[in-house]
Structure formats: C-alpha cells, structure tokens
C-alpha cells in the first residue's frame, strides 16, 4: 500500500486520530476498477480527484501525472497478491493531514496524506450477482441528500454520514435487494448512496441533472459513449418519484458493478418488474467494449465465495463508487 511516498504493509496504513480526515471528515478519494486487469477510465477518476482536492483546498504538491504513475506502481507492487480471475480495485485517499495545533505534539508528520490501496474487486461486489437478474428495489428513505450549496456531493468526500443513515433506514425494509435512492431537498431524485440512477422512458435514457449528485464516471460513460454507440437518445433532466414509477425501465451505475437493473421503487414494479431491454443492451455493450462478461464475472465470484450465502449487510456493499 502506498502511503506518502512509501509502500507499507496494509496493517500500517492507518491515519492518526489527530488527522483532519478523522477530525472533520476532511478527506477526498477515488475508487477505480480494472477490466481484465486494465484500469478503466483511470485518468477521468484522477481528474475528478484533483477537482475534489481543489474544491476543499488541500495544498497537495503531487501532480496528476505523478499520481497516475504512483497508482500504476502500486498496482504493480501488489500484482502477485491477486488471483488470476481478480480485478484490481484501487482506492486513493487524500487528506489534509494533521491538524496544525497538533503539529510537533504527536509523532506524525504534518502535511497532506496520500494513501493508495489495491485490493480485489470481488470484496466490493460480493453478493451482487443475482441483482443482474432480479434487479434492485430502490427505496426512498426519509433521509434526504444534502444539497450542493451546503456540502457538495460532486466533491467525492468522506463527510457523508448521511449516506450511511439512509442505508440504515432502508435496511428496515423487508427484502435483500433494497438500495437507498435519495431525494434532494427540492424533492427531485438525486442518487443512491454510491451510485447514479437512470430511467428509460419512451426510448430515451434520462438521468438527474448533475447538481446534487456525484458526477459518476460510469454515468458519463453511459451518456457519452454507450448511449451514442447504441443510438439511444440520452438526457439530463430533473426527475421525481412519478417519473420513476411510470418509467419503462430504470437502472443504476457504479464503478464496481458498472450497471445494475432497478426493477421496483418502494416495492412497486417498474415496467414489467424485470430488467428491461435497454438496460440489458447497455450492460452487454459495456462488457463487449471492455472484453468482460460483467454479470458473469460477478456471479462467478459469488459462487466461489464461501460467505456469499449469508450475504453482506444491506448497507455495506454500497459504500463505493
């Protein structure tokens, strides 16, 4: 694991409790994945990371090019730990570092921390295989998204306890395919707690305006590449509960799983209650573009994993994007 210029064992990648990250949730991050062990849209993730760093004004000295190199080096350094059928999941954390009042007091150097970890993607997507078939039941909890003017979700940051609160609220519902779908304070559909949402309506793919949401890399891939490749119109528009309930199809996007169908909202079937043809075409096309059977790979990991039977807690596996 990369930690401020060195490779250290994972158990040593720990942050001081006096770090701003732990004092204020003052840390930005990215998480990527590979397809066939080739990082996907790494540069887009890093550009977004640097936008986050700029927004929160962490005075980092490393350039984006240097960062890209370090990420690759970290993957290389860990390559032997991975099984043949693994994909690389990379997590990059950047914190402001020790709060200045503790400088010189505790045995930690001041200045920003850069931490890069690589681990098998299967950790994250464990148990998601069946969702490609049955779809997600999106549940709108009482917890709302925080609007961008107060704490901007476009900054991929770690001050997001409210996402966890949403997940906990949703875990009170019956069923194992419930994922939170947050409304923003205006009542518009915003996003999941680690994923973007889309509907398909009258042949058009529609997703919320990029305001009170993270602007997902997977989201952009659907809008700018997959939609055009398939000749399907795409649009960013304000949508609300009515639009989702009456849509023909719906799906969510996220880095670890790419695309998952959403087949119900608050327990009510969307369309005919099964993954729709547009959703399936998008999944298929994405897989073709990167040379991976995306649902098949995740299902295979599910099957090979001992503890998959019990399944992850309902709010554990949706923490990353």
Binding test (CB under 8 A) with its own copies, winner from 138, 155, 213, 250: 155
Contact at 8 Å (CB) between 144 and 151? no
Q: Is 303 in the site for its own copies (CB under 8 A)?
A: no
Strand 178-180, strand 136-139: pairing: parallel
Q: Is 20 in the site for its own copies (CB under 8 A)?
A: yes
Contact at 8 Å (CB) between 197 and 262? yes
* Min dist. Cβ of residue 185 to its own copies (A): 7
Q: Is 105 in the site for its own copies (CB under 8 A)?
A: yes
Contact at 8 Å (CB) between 133 and 274? no
Q: Which is nearer to its own copies, 156 or 205 (CB)?
A: 156
Contact at 8 Å (CB) between 181 and 142? no
Binding test (CB under 8 A) with its own copies, winner from 4, 22, 70, 290: 22
Q: Is 6 in the site for its own copies (CB under 8 A)?
A: no
270-299 binders of its own copies (CB under 8 A): none
Name the one range near its own copies by CB under 8 A: 63-71, 79-87, 98-106, 273-281: 98-106
Strand 258-265, strand 136-139: pairing: parallel
Q: Which two tokens stand for residue 232?
A: 């399907």
Binding test (CB under 8 A) with its own copies, winner from 238, 284, 290, 299: 238
Binding test (CB under 8 A) with its own copies, winner from 65, 133, 186, 293: 186
What lies within 8 Å, CB to CB, of 236 at 6+ separation is 206, 207, 208, 209, 210, 223
CA angle 57, 61, 63 (to 5 degrees): 105
Q: Is 82 in the site for its own copies (CB under 8 A)?
A: no
CA atoms within 13 A on the CB side of 43: 1
Q: Is 142 in the site for its own copies (CB under 8 A)?
A: yes
- The residues that bridge with 252 in the sheet, in sequence order, are 197, 260
Binding test (CB under 8 A) with its own copies, winner from 209, 225, 233, 273: 209
Q: Which is nearer to its own copies, 162 or 274 (CB)?
A: 162
Q: Is 131 in the site for its own copies (CB under 8 A)?
A: no
Binding test (CB under 8 A) with its own copies, winner from 130, 204, 248, 266: 266
Q: Which two tokens stand for residue 96?
A: 């402001």
Q: Is 27 in the site for its own copies (CB under 8 A)?
A: yes
Going 220 to 224 to 228 to 230, the CA torsion angle's sign is negative
The footprint of its own copies on this chain (CB under 8 A) covers a number of residues equal to 88
């Amino acid at each position: 694991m990369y930690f401020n210029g060195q490779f250290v064992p994972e158990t040593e990648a720990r942050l001081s409790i006096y770090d701003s990250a732990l004092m204020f949730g003052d840390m930005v991050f990215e998480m990527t994945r590979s397809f066939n062990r080739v990082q996907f849209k790494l540069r887009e993730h890093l550009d977004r990371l640097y936008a986050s760093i700029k927004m929160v004004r962490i005075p980092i000295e490393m350039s984006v090019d240097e960062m890209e190199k370090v990420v690759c080096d970290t993957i290389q350094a860990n390559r032997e730990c991975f099984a043949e059928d693994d994909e690389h999941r990379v997590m990059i954390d950047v914190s402001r570092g020790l709060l200045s009042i503790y400088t010189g007091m505790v045995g930690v150097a001041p200045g920003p921390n850069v931490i890069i970890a690589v681990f098998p993607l299967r950790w994250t997507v464990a148990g998601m295989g069946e969702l490609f078939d049955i779809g997600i039941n999106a549940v709108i909890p009482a917890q709302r998204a925080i609007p961008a003017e107060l704490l901007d979700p476009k900054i991929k940051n770690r001050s997001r306890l409210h996402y966890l609160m949403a997940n906990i609220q949703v875990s009170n519902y019956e069923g194992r395919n419930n994922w939170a779908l947050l409304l923003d304070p205006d009542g518009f559909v915003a996003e999941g707690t680690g994923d973007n949402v889309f509907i398909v309506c009258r042949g058009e793919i529609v997703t919320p305006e990029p305001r009170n949401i993270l602007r997902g890399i997977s989201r952009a891939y659907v809008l700018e590449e997959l939609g055009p490749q398939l000749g399907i119109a795409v649009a960013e528009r304000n949508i609300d509960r009515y639009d989702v309930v009456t849509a023909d199809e719906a799906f969510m996007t996220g880095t670890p799983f790419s695309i998952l169908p959403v087949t119900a909202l608050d327990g009510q079937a969307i369309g005919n209650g099964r993954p729709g043809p547009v959703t399936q075409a998008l999944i298929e096309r994405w897989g073709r573009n990167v040379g991976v059977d995306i649902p098949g790979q995740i299902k295979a990991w599910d099957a090979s994993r001992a503890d998959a039977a019990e399944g992850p807690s309902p709010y554990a596996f949706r923490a990353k994007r």
